Structure 1
Amino acid sequence: MHALTEKQVRRSLVNCSRSEAESMTLPRTFAETPWEELVVLGWRDPRAPLRGYLVVEREGRPVGVAVRAADTRMSSGTPAMCLLCQTAQAGSDVSLFTARRAGEAGRNGNTVGTYVCADLACAVRARVEIPPWLRERDPEEVAAERTAELEQRVHGFLDAVLR
């Protein structure tokens, strides 16, 4: 992913108003973001804990979506899987996120949702949390495959928001 400015991130959001994008709080570590290691930038809004954001590059430009976490969580004793990075975790570390659809559909209240890592750090997990059944393979190759698959699934979620 190419380095983005705060302005580019705010303008990338396709499913919220300009005022909502302006009120968004960027991650505290935004200035130190390791852009070259990411295929998706994801974070929870520190001032609004149920809000989060996902930004990807699409056709050479950033495209972002605002998401909202469910206000309840699964039990930590319940196993769950993020449907973006496909990392198995405790249920308390995965949350249902919904995104208002873009355009008129979103204005009419239509949403799409999926289960995602509660901290939206899927890009990091895809690279470093290698499932046991893949550990015999070359770690760099596995990380590259998982990252590419994550990017495809995020684009699929984005397609659903844009429909």
Structure 2
Amino acid sequence: MQPLTPKSLRDSFVNTSKREAAEAIPPFRLETVEWEKLEVFGWIDRSNPLLGFIVIPLDGEPVGIMLRASGNKTKKTMCALCEDIVDVSDVKLFVAKRAGAAGRKGDTVGTLIHGHFGCSKQVRRKPNSIEGKRDPEKFIADRIEALVANAEQFARRVLGS
């Protein structure tokens, strides 16, 4: 993922008002982020644990999406982005307003995502004995590729394209 500045981060949001985008500040300094190890970048709002933000690269540009976590507890389930079957404890249903006129009318899309937005880390974990015994490096590369494709697909759904 390309490094983001505070301005490029604010400018990336496609389903927020200008005020919401201005308030979408990660709880850590952007200079400390290891961008080369990320396919998606996300965080939970410090003042509202049901509000999250995720930035997904799409066609070379960052697409920022504001998300709301469902207040309902879900059964342990797989994240739709990284498809990790080992860490399913913090997967939540997140809903995003669609971009543009559709979102202003109230149209939304939802997906299951790790509540800690650690998908980039999850896809880099070593495979267990069942998953990728023969070629662990290929297993990880395939998972990274799938994360990118799944994240792009979600961003396109939010954009309505």
TM-score by length of 2: 0.91
Of all paired residues, the percent bearing the same amino acid is 39
Give the paired residue count: 160
Deviation at 1:23, TM superposition (A): 1.0
User: How large is the Cα RMSD of the aligned pairs?
Assistant: 1.7
Asked if 2 retains the 8 angstrom alpha-carbon contact of 1:50 and 1:69, the reply is yes
Q: Distance in 2 between the 1:129 and 1:18 partners? A: 41
Asked if 2 retains the 8 angstrom alpha-carbon contact of 1:81 and 1:88, the reply is yes
Asked if 1 retains the 8 angstrom alpha-carbon contact of 2:4 and 2:30, the reply is no
Pairing 1:58-69 to 2, within 5 Å after superposition: 58-69=58-69
Q: Distance in 2 between the 1:121 and 1:115 partners? A: 13
Q: Greater helix percent: which structure?
A: 1
Gaps of 5+ in 2: none
Q: Distance in 2 between the 1:99 and 1:116 partners? A: 12
- 1:161 is paired with a residue whose SS is helix
Gaps of 5+ in 1: none
Corresponding residue of 1:153: 150
Deviation at 1:132, TM superposition (A): 4.2
Asked if 2 retains the 8 angstrom alpha-carbon contact of 1:52 and 1:120, the reply is no
Q: Which runs of 4+ in 1 moved over 4 A?
A: 89-92
Asked if 1 retains the 8 angstrom alpha-carbon contact of 2:97 and 2:108, the reply is yes
Deviation at 1:105, TM superposition (A): 0.5
Deviation at 1:44, TM superposition (A): 1.2
